[in-house]
C-alpha cells in the first residue's frame, strides 16, 4: 500500500506547514492511540529534542492520546535511543519521538517506537494512516487519558549508557571533546563520559530552541575538529540533534566516518568472540570496508539506505552489528535502535581495551575515494532506463573491475539521480562519475 504520511523515519516536515501542524499532530496522536490502545498498559511515552516547536507538538500529541483514552508519560528533551530504551523498561504501549534529527530547527517530525523499542511494523503504521481518515471522536470523560512527567528519565538513561561500558575499564586520563549539536544529548552525554572518568570539554551544549544542529554536531564536524586541536584532546565525539548518530575525531583532528567506526567495532567484537555473525551496511557503505571485513573473514551484506533497512537485515540474519557511513550505528547487544552515545562508548571500549588510539585503530582500513554527483532530471522522465546511461555504467564497471563500483539511485524527495562511483584510483573515479553524470 502507498503511504500517505509516514516516510522511512516517521512523519516529517516544516513546522506550521502540513503535516507538521497542531491539528494534524493532535489527530495523529489520536489515531495512534486508537490503534495502540487495544492491548497493554495504555501508556505512551513522549520525548523530544530541543527544538522550540517541541512544546507545541508535545501538547498536541498529549491531547490526541488523551482523547483516545491513553495516558501520556512526558520525558522532556531526551535522545531518540533513550526513548526506545525507556519504552521497553516502562513496559509502555509505545514511545513517540518529536524530532527532525539533523535537520534545522524549523523542521520537526514525529516517529514511533513499538513496545519493544523498535520502529513500528509496516502494518501498524498503515493502520494508523487508515485511522487518520476516520472522523476524530473522544472517549467518555471518565475514560480520558492522563499525563504525567517522568522526572528521573535522564538519570535512568545515563546509568543505562554507563552499564554498556566494561566495569574493568575506565576513561580516566582521556581528554574528550563532546559536541552535542545543541540537541537532545546536551544534558546526557557529558555526565556519561565524566562519570566514566574522562575529562570532558563540551561544545554545542547550550540549546535555545533555535540553534539545534547550527554549525555544530555530526553533520558539521568542523567545530569539533577545531576544538580537538585547540584543547589538544585525545579525541572528539559529535552527535546529531536527536543523538542517534555520531562522528568521531582522532587526536590529530582527522574525522572518522560511520564506515570506519563500524570497522573498529566489528574487528574488536570479532577478536572478543562477541560479533555473533556478520555486519550489515548499506548501498552507500564504502567498498573498502566490505573488502577489509572479508580479509578478517567477517560476512557483510548491504541494505537499502536507512537505518530501518539495516535493522531489517540484522533481524533477517540474526546478526547484531550494522550501520551507515552517516554515523548511524546499531548494536543490538546494547540497544534496540541506533544510539550515538553507546556506539561511541563501544569504540572507546575497543580503544582503551587494546591500548590503541583511534588513529591506530583506523589504520587497517583505507577508504576508497568516492565521488557523488547529483543530477537533476525532468519530471516524468526516467534516466535510469536510458540505453546510453546503461552503456556508460557498464563501461565504468569494466574499468573499475573488482576495485570499485557504480551506484545510481533516485532521490526520494526531489527529481535527482545520485551518481556514485568509488574505487582505488581517485582520478579514474572522478572521470567515470562525470562520464556517467553527463549521460544522465
* Cell numbers found for residue 176: 574528550
Cα dihedral 425, 430, 435, 436, rounded to 10, equals 90
Question: Which has the closest alpha carbon to 246: 321, 327, 323, 176?
Answer: 327
User: Annotation-wise, does 101 bind a ligand?
Assistant: yes
Task: Say which residue the cell 498503515 belongs to.
Answer: 126
Query: Do 31 and 5 form a contact (C-beta atoms < 8 A)?
Result: no
Annotation marks residue 218 as catalytic: no
Rounded distance, CA 120 to CA 298, Å? 30
Question: Which has the closest alpha carbon to 260: 365, 369, 341?
Answer: 365
* Cell numbers found for residue 295: 580479509
Rounded distance, CA 88 to CA 86, Å? 5
Rounded distance, CA 171 to CA 152, Å? 25
Q: Which of 101, 114, 326, 331 is catalytic?
A: 101
Phi and psi, residue 80, nearest 5°: -55, -50
Question: Residue 315 contacts by C-beta under 8 Å, 6 or more apart in sequence?
Answer: none
For residue 216, what is the DSSP state? -
Rounded distance, CA 377 to CA 4, Å? 24
Handedness of CA 49, 52, 55, 61 (dihedral sign): negative
Q: Give me the count of residues in the chain.
A: 440
Rounded distance, CA 200 to CA 25, Å? 38
Query: Do 174 and 356 form a contact (C-beta atoms < 8 A)?
Result: no
* Cell numbers found for residue 152: 528521573
For the annotated binding site, the residues are: 101, 240, 242, 244
For the annotated binding site for Mg(2+), the residues are: 101, 240, 242, 244
Catalytic residues: 101
Amino acid at each position: 500500500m502507498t503511504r500517505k504520511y509516514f516516510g522511512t523515519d516517521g512523519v516529517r516536515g516544516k513546522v506550521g506547514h502540513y503535516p507538521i501542524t497542531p491539528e494534524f499532530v493532535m489527530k495523529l496522536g489520536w489515531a495512534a492511540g486508537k490503534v495502540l490502545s487495544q492491548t497493554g498498559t495504555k501508556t505512551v511515552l513522549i520525548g523530544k529534542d530541543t527544538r522550540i516547536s517541541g512544546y507545541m507538538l508535545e501538547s498536541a500529541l498529549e491531547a490526541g492520546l488523551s482523547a483516545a483514552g491513553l495516558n501520556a508519560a512526558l520525558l522532556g528533551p531526551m535522545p531518540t535511543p533513550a526513548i526506545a530504551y525507556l519504552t521497553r523498561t516502562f513496559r509502555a504501549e509505545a514511545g513517540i519521538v518529536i524530532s527532525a534529527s539533523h535537520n534545522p530547527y524549523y523542521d520537526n517530525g514525529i516517529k514511533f517506537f513499538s513496545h519493544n523499542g523498535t520502529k513500528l511494523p509496516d502494518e501498524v503504521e498503515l493502520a494508523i494512516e487508515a485511522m487518520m481518515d476516520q472522523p476524530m471522536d473522544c472517549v467518555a470523560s471518565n475514560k480520558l487519558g492522563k499525563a504525567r512527567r517522568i522526572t528521573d528519565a535522564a538519570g535512568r538513561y545515563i546509568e543505562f549508557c554507563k552499564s554498556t561500558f566494561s566495569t574493568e575499564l575506565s576513561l580516566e586520563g582521556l581528554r574528550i571533546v563532546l559536541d552535542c549539536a545543541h540537541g537532545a544529548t546536551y544534558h546526557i552525554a557529558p555526565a556519561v563520559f565524566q562519570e566514566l572518568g574522562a575529562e570532558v570539554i563540551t561544545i554545542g551544549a547550550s540549546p535555545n530552541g533555535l540553534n539545534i544542529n547550527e554549525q555544530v554536531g555530526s553533520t558539521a564536524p568542523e567545530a569539533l575538529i577545531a576544538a580537538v586541536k585547540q584543547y589538544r584532546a585525545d579525541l572528539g565525539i559529535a552527535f546529531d540533534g536527536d543523538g542517534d548518530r555520531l562522528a568521531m575525531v582522532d587526536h590529530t583532528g582527522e574525522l572518522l566516518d560511520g564506515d570506519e567506526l563500524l570497522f573498529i567495532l566489528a574487528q574488536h567484537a570479532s577478536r572478543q568472540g562477541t560479533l555473533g555473525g556478520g555486519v550489515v551496511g548499506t548501498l552507500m557503505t564504502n567498498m573498502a570496508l566490505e573488502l577489509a571485513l572479508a580479509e578478517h573473514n567477517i560476512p557483510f551484506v548491504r541494505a537499502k539506505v536507512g537505518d530501518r533497512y539495516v535493522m531489517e537485515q540484522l533481524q533477517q540474519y540474526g546478526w547484531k552489528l550494522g550501520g551507515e557511513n552517516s554515523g548511524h550505528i546499531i548494536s543490538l547487544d546494547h540497544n534496540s535502535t541506533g544510539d550515538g552515545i553507546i556506539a561511541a562508548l563501544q569504540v572507546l571500549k575497543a580503544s582503551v581495551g587494546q591500548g590503541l588510539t583511534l588513529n591506530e585503530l583506523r589504520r587497517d582500513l583505507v577508504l576508497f575515494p568516492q565521488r557523488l554527483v547529483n543530477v537533476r532530471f525532468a519530471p516524468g522522465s526516467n534516466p535510469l532506463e536510458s540505453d546510453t546511461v546503461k552503456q556508460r555504467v557498464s563501461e565504468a564497471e569494466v574499468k573499475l573491475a573488482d576495485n570499485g563500483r557504480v551506484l545510481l539511485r533516485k532521490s526520494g524527495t526531489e527529481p535527482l539521480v545520485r551518481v556514485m562511483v568509488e574505487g582505488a584510483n581517485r582520478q579514474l573515479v572522478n572521470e567515470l562519475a562525470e562520464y556517467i553524470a553527463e549521460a544522465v
